[in-house]
Every structure is written in C-alpha cells, then in structure tokens.
Amino acid sequence: MIIFNNNAFHLCTKNTSYIMAVFGGRLLNLYYGKRISRVPDIEQMLPISGPRIFSCPDINEGDISVSTDNLTVEYPTFGSADLRTPAFSARYADGSEVTRFEYAGYEITEGKYRPEGLPSVYAEENDTVSSLKIILEDRVSKAAAELNFSVFEDYDAITRSVKIINKSDKAFDIEKALSLCFDLRRSDFDMITLNGAWARERMPERMPLRIGVQQVESMRGITSHHENPFFALLDRNADENSGEVYGFNLIYSGNFVAGVQRDSYNVARAYIGINPQNFVWRLEPGESFVTPEAVSVFSDSGIGGMSRIFHKLYRERLCRGVYRDIRRPVLINNWEATYFDFNEEKILSIAKTAKQADIELMVLDDGWFGKRNGESGSLGDWVPNTDKLPNGIKGLAEKVNALGMKFGLWMEPEMVSPDSDLNRAHPDWCLHIGGRTPTLGRNQLVLDLTRKEVREYIKSTFDRLLGDGYISYIKWDMNRSMTEVGSAVGGAAAQGKVYHSYVLGLYEIMEYLVNRYPNVLFEGCSGGGARFDGGILHYMPQIWTSDDTDAVERLYIQYGTSICYPYSAMGAHVSAVPNHQVWRTTPMKMRGDVSICGQLGYELDLGKLDEADMNCVKEQVKAYKELSEVFHNGDLYRLLVPVGNNAAVNEFISNDKNTVIVCSYIIKGTPGAPHDYIKLKGLEAGADYADQSGRAFSGDYLMNFGVTVSYTSDHKSDITVFKRIKK
C-alpha cells in the first residue's frame, strides 16, 4: 500500500513502513522500520533546527538552521549541497559535474514496476503490490531521475530502480547511477557482508560501523567469489532471532558497489548499485538509462527473520518457470569422477550405476566438444568430440534416456579459447584492447557479448543442441574474471559502457533461452559460486554454490549463502573422499546430510563405493525426494551456526507447519562436552509432534527444552523429522 498525503509518501508492507517527504524542494527519507499505523503531521518528522554546522553549506539562502548534514536525502547527487557519498553524478556538455535533483511530481499505480532489459522481482495476479514513481529534475542540466519503488505488502519487501532521462538537447555522460541510497538517522550498527574466495565463498563477516566508508565491491565483470552484492545493517546486540536488521541486495550479475558511509553526525548512508569504476554511459538527448533493481527488507526478528523474507521472496517471485514449484531431479555429474578422461562407455557405466540408486539425471561435464582434452583449447567449438563420443551427444543422450534417466550437459558459452576454430575465424570477437596482449584466465578469453553477432552465435549454438529435445539440463559455467575489457565496435565513446552492456547481453541470451526452452533446467555456475546473485536466479533457479564439495566446508559456505539466498537455489553435491579440494575424509552419511538440504547431486564414480556406502546413497536419494518440499519451500531457522561453534543445526518447517526437519552436524568432537540442548523455533506450542521412532513431544517442550545434539565423535550428522500429530 502506498499513501500520499501532505507532501509525504508512506510505503506500507504488512509489517514495515518506509516514509519519504518533500522538504525545500528535496526528497528526504524520514523513516524505515516497523510499521507505523498512522503517520503524524509530517512536520514532526522533518529535520530539527539546531546550531549552524559551519563546515557545511546551507540548503536555503538566508536560512542557517538546516545544513546538508542534517538531511537524509533519498537520491543525493554530486556537486551541489550534499558533500557525502552521492548516488548520482554526471559530466555535462559544458564540462560541469553539478546535479541538483528537485521534486517534480509522482505517480502511484497498481502492480509491479519492471526495469526494462533487466532481471527483477515480479508480481503475480493475486499479489498485493503497488508501485510509486517519483520524478526528480535538474532545472539547469535538464537531467531527470525517475525513482521507481514497488511495495510487496505480503512479502515485507520493497524494490527500487532508477531511470535517468536526458531531457536536454545535448548529450551528457552518466558517471555514477546507484540503484538505492538510504540514510538512517543513527549509525550504531554492525554491518554484515558475505566475503571469501574460490572454494570458500560467502563467508559472513560482521563488524561495527566506523566513521567513514565501509564497502564491498567487484570490478571483475562478475559478482565474484570474493564479495557479494548484499549487506545488512543490524543492532549491535542483534542475533539470529532478535534485534532490528536491514538487508539490501542488488539483482545484478556484474560489477557492483555496496556499502555504508557513517558521518560525524550520527547518520549512516547505505547504498548499492553498479560500480562506477570504468563506467561511463553516454546519454543522448531523449535517451534513458535504467539501473538494476535493489531489494530492501527490514526485520525486527533478527538475522533469521531477514533471511526468511529474502528466501520466500526469491523462491516465489524472483525464480520462475516450471522448475520454480516442482521438485528438481537428483543428478550425477562425471567431473570429479573422470575429469577430461572419459568416453561413452565410461559415462554410460556411471549412469547405469546411478540408476540403481534412483538418480534421475546424468550430466556430462567439460571435455565433450572440439579437441578438448584439457584446459588449453576448443572453448567456443561446441561440436562433439567423436574420439570420445563416436555417436555424438545425441547418441549418448538416447542411450542415457533408454535407462530411464534424463541427460544434461556442461557448457561455458561466454568463453573462447585462443586455440579454437571460433577464435581463428573471429579473432576480434573476444573482449580486448587493440595493441595490448590479452591476459588469459584458465587459458581462455571472454567473448564480447556487447556484439549482436556474438549473442546470435551463442543462441544458435543452443538452438542446435537443444532443438531436438534430448537435453534436459544445462550447467552454464563462467570460469574467469574479465581483463582488458574493451570492444572492437562502438569506438572510444562506447568503451565505458562495455562492462554493463556485457551483462545486458548476457541477460538477453538467457531470456531468449528460458522462453524458448522452458522445460530445460538451467543451473548457473562461475568457477563455483562466483556469480551467485539474484540476476542469475531470475533465469536459472539454482546455482552451483561452490567448487568446494567437502562436507565440513560446505556447512560454512551454505550457511553464509543462506543469509540472503534460499537453500532451493543451492546446487549441493556429494563427492568422493578424500575430498578433492581439502583432502578431508567425512562419512558418506554426513556428505549426504549436508547436500540434501540443497539441490542434491553426486559427483563421483558410484561404482567404486562399497555396499554400505551405496546403500547410504540410495537412502539419501529416497529421503531427498520425500523431504525436498520442506527443504526448498519451508522456513529456515538456523538454530546453531557453524561459525564459532563445533556444530551446526538447521531447522526447516513446512508451510502448513505439519513437518519439521532438524539437521544437526558435528564439525569436531569435543571431549568433556557430551551433548547440547538446542531449542526449536516456530512451532505451535499446544501441538504434538512425533519423530521417526514414534516418540511424541509437545511443541512447547521442543521450543523450551529442545533436542539433544551429541558431541561424541568427529564428523557426525543426523536428520530428525517431526510430524505433527493430528487430533
């Protein structure tokens, strides 16, 4: 619901309020937090007059009572009265860089605003969603900004995107255009970011705000292993279950910046958007530019409450297509079983053994095309390697289908090897800068997706492979960051557009594919989890979470990922031991118990397992099929997080509250501490619940006394299912 009254805008979700007002021609944000049922006279919420701040300019001539550092500005600009981090800056035809956006009008509509050409959260017919457009204009430069908000009342989330319009008769260059900028009238927060590296993605880091700027960013062309376009601000004493938390996420798959500036006057400015580094967007008269969509949520139920809002919104209104609401197939991938050393006979052997465990999808990974026997060549030459596959992909797929299994394929469509027929035919199709030797990553270059002919080549490649319908799954990989980012087309003026235009080209291809092949399951991947973001989730409902498949490491990685993203989005595989990344040995049961909460898969040669482990796999696959509805669509409560503890405990509750799953993992045995009592959350106090053995417990017992977690051995796991007893 959106209310406009007395120059104030009140954006209401079920449990939150976001309030803005026009003051002195400027648009200010005044409040974001727990819902206010009735907003008082807006004058009471405006900045209070006080002593003059001599270091800051006055906003109105002759009025020294209010300076810019008193104001919480909704979309601040560079060069005028606000001297803090701006959301927008531009260079105009006369060389000046001053913009002063002033309020020029608004429009309220029912339904969801969709940023053109970009992924976004969407609304369905029965959703309670309304949108607000606020128009800001600079009277001198004739630049305008349309701030587009959409309020998801039932989901407790607000999305926003900005459209910049050139209403003048001269071109200007946008140098910075963030999607969200929000000033909070306090700064005593902690900040959580999701940081890491290859094989240890999205490790939560929590730190108190300090004076100055704290931010995360990517300049790698992708969102990266190292930092994620998410951050949260929370009370210093907030934990999983209590305290106020603000969460911010950018639905974007390229260079980003996200951070907070804390000033000396107790104001914290939160912001997120496209990274302005190497971003210059020439806007001709009459043209417009649209920023990626940002999502903000507020919870007074701690970090867990914030996470559950993101999870439900992204599961139901960011992911889409036929696989959004149905159980996805259990798969086996040959990569860690064979790497490049395989042939048709070996793949069929893996598939036949997997079929015995009721695994449903056989995925052929890297090495099936061109002359590919290692990392040194053939990317871009998407034709079968007949030395390995004499009957081609179609012949292999038909044999896999005859086993009663679906067939899937690994591809890296955005890449080209220097040693490839594609590169020899089109050496200028890669991102490069003339006269400079390109830097290789994994012996490969990045195709220039800003070029229409390159995008059409990729589309036609998929049309050739998917057109016959024998491929049911594509693992879309992207294994390197971008360097020497330039395009052979467009000239000098276009080079500042390349990073963002690349992402727009990527989205165009993905949109084409998911519409043309709605029954193909696409899984995103980028050297593991380097592009685990909302942009990819709009096209691909699951993403390979990390190349690190060790059960213990995955507890940390999946925990950090779940701060913002749902378990339904996490590709999670069981692999061989000793693990190929960290060389740790963990029991088959624990490897399965860690993976079963995500999208379950196997990445090993099942034919090498002993009978006990093979039986364990069969039990895991059966349990996954029975419980995945709860794991993927229910509410998550992180009862004990792995960071700082020798154990981790997650609780999943079905939407109807009839099934509760408690997953406990012992990371390290602790002598002298034989057990812990972990209290469950979210149950009905007066209801009774029975576990697998038939023992009954009341809801208030489970929430107030809890369940026992034993520390008697290393690397132990247990999954307990409670069913509500119907009276």
Q: Which residues are catalytic?
A: 477, 547
Distance (Å, whole) CA 619 – CA 225? 33
Query: φ, ψ for residue 210 (rounded to 5)?
Result: -115, 165
What is the C-alpha to C-alpha distance for residues 221 and 365, in angstroms, rounded to an integer?
24
The two most distant CA atoms of the chain are separated, in Å, by 86
Q: How far is CA 339 from CA 368, 375, 394, 502, 710, in A?
A: 11, 11, 21, 30, 38
Nearest-angstrom CA–CA distance, 496 and 278 = 6
Where is 346: in which H helix or E strand?
A: helix 344-356
Identify whether the C-beta of residue 223 lies closer than 8 Å to the C-beta of residue 195: no
| DSSP E strand boundaries for 500-563 | 521-524, 542-544
**What are residue 11's phi and psi, to 5 degrees?**
-100, 115
The amino acid occupying position 89 is: S
Q: Using an 8 Å Cβ cutoff, are 666 and 716 in contact?
A: yes
Cα R_g (the chain), whole angstroms: 27
Whose tokens are 């969509």? That residue is 293
The answer for residues whose C-beta is within 8 angstroms of residue 607's C-beta and 6 or more apart is 349, 350, 353
Measured in residues, the chain has a length of 727
Q: Which of 315, 363, 358, 321 is nearest to 629 (CA)?
A: 315
Alpha-carbon span 727 to 725, nearest angstrom = 6
Distance CA(710)–CA(204), nearest Å, equals 26
- Neighbour tally for 4: CB within 10 Å: 13
**Are the C-beta atoms of 247 and 190 separated by less than 8 Å?**
no
Distance CA 408, CA 365 (A): 9
Which single residue is written with the structure tokens 């154990």? 647
- Whether the Cβ atoms of residue 480 and residue 415 lie closer than 8 Å to each other: yes
Q: Which amino acid is at 616?
A: C
Give CA–CA dist 526/692, Å, rounded.
39
* Residue 94 CB burial class (10 angstroms; 0-12, 13-18, ≥19): exposed
Per the structure block, which two tokens stand in for 45?
A: 């919420």
281-283/521-524 β-pairing: unpaired
| Strand ranges in 365-510 using DSSP code E only, listed in sequence order | 406-411, 415-416, 445-446, 473-476
Q: Residue 230 and residue 258: Cα distance in Å, rounded? A: 7
Q: How far apart are CA 291 and CA 467, in angstroms?
A: 34
By C-alpha distance, which of 247, 275, 271 is closest to 260?
271
**Residue 543 is which amino acid?**
I
Cβ neighbours around 96 below 10 Å, total: 13
CA atoms within 13 A on the CB side of 313: 29
- According to DSSP, the β-strands at 361-364 and 406-411 are parallel
How many whole angstroms separate alpha carbon 30 and alpha carbon 71? 9
